[in-house]
A = this chain, B = another copy of it.
Amino acid sequence: MIKKFIDRESGKITEQKVMNAITIDCVIFGFNEGKLEVLLVEHAEGISKGQWGLPGGWIKEDESIDAAANRLLFELTGIADVYLEQLKAFGDPERFPLGRVITVGYYALIKKDDYDVKAGFTASDAKWYQLDEIPELIYDHREILDYSLNQLKNRVRQAPIGFNLLPEKFTLLQLMQLYQEILNVELDKPNFRRKILKMKLLVDLKEKQKDVSHRAAKLYKFDPAIYEKLTQKGFNFEL
């Protein structure tokens, strides 16, 4: 695409090729047995055949970026209606070997129980990886992944988004372990439970765990409506 540029000072007109291709790449986080995991796909064709990367694809002409991210997420993994937030645009001219392509990074938080996302659910292979087992990734996907991890660490302390990684009903210990894993810290059980409960953000479901080989813990759920009300009263989630 050729575009004319007018120099404001001299009035000179120059022509210059401008950017013309945009994709979306999505970091999908899951939480399983105390470990944070990321869903990666193996490319089945093209120059990156056999290599692992983030699920992604092209944005269509008539859809918003958010819509494209949701569509691609569903097309590639069957995942829908999840927490999905844009990270930023990545646009190093050399990031894609076959030409200039800018990509918009997203990250999703999913309840792994809800989606039985297994290897082989699409034509290309797909697999959950723990953070310390991530293979080499194509293009700048490692950079996008690292950026998303950092973003997750920051956001999770400022907003109640961690719940998106847990089942609908969860125990306080599960919640604490989630934060321990994401923030990479050790927390004190009694102190953590006090801090969370004091926010009055969680709904006590008056239910207990079943089929556990120890004292069953109370189950709670997160209610966005309650959070909404609290924020309107000036409440600020902070961990």
Contact = CB atoms under 8 A, between A and B. Distances in A.
Contacts of A89: 65, 86, 88-89, 104
A208 B72 CA distance: 59
A68 B22 CA distance: 16
B20 A60 contact: no
B59 A17 contact: no
Q: Interface of chain A, helix or strand or loop or mixed?
A: mixed
Interface stretch (A1-9, A110-118, A167-175, A193-201): A1-9
A75 to B, nearest CB: 7
Contacts of A62: 17, 93, 100
A7 B75 CA distance: 8
Interface in A93-117: 93, 100, 102, 104
Copies assembled: 2
Contacts of A136: none
Contacts of A21: 1, 18-20
Interface residues of A, number: 44
A51 interface: no
B65 A91 contact: yes
Contact of A60 (B6, B7, B18, B63): B18
A61 B158 contact: no
B154 A59 contact: no
A124 interface: yes
A92 B61 CA distance: 10
Given A1-B20, A16-B58, A64-B93, 15 more contacts: A5-B58, A8-B75, A8-B122, A18-B22, A18-B59, A18-B60, A19-B58, A20-B61, A61-B93, A62-B93, A62-B100, A65-B89, A65-B90, A65-B91, A88-B88
